[in-house]
Amino acid sequence: MRWFLEKMDMKESTAYLINGLSLFVLWFVIRIVFGTYVCYFSVAYLPEEAWSKPALVLTLTLGCIFQSLQYYWGYKILKGVVRALKKLLSGGDEGKPKLD
């Protein structure tokens, strides 16, 4: 939807802002909160005998390493949200989204 709004030249619209905020909230809940939860509990509750299986250890290790990419992208999305909110709250006509 965000792509369609951009192609229709609606980057300053309220719909675009709401779409971006919902993207951030969903990203944070699903990728950051739930992903960290799964990574932690996968490692914390793994039986000791499972640590002797290299494929399982490699899978868990890579999963936790790839989780760090979620933090990076979450940070990038958060920067965009902060920038959009600053623009919205600045009060200037050029900073306000169009009310469609």
Q: Is residue 62 part of a domain?
A: yes
Q: Is residue 83 part of a domain?
A: yes
Q: Is residue 96 part of a domain?
A: no
Q: How is the chain split among helix, strand and coil, in percent rounded to 5?
A: 80, 0, 20
Confidence (pTM): 0.68
- pLDDT recorded at residue 42: 84
How many percent of the chain have pLDDT more than 70?
Answer: 90
- pLDDT recorded at residue 99: 57
Contacts of 33 (CB under 8 A, 6+ apart): none
Q: Is residue 99 part of a domain?
A: no
Q: Is residue 26 part of a domain?
A: yes
The count of domains in the chain is: 1
Q: Is residue 33 part of a domain?
A: yes
Q: Could you tell me the residue range of the domain that residue 10 belongs to?
A: 2-89
Q: Is residue 51 part of a domain?
A: yes
Sign of the CA dihedral running 83, 8, 15, 67: negative
Supply the Cα-derived Rg of the chain in whole angstroms: 19
Band (98; pLDDT cuts 50, 70, 90): low
Q: Is residue 34 part of a domain?
A: yes
Strand-pairing partners, residue 13, are: 98
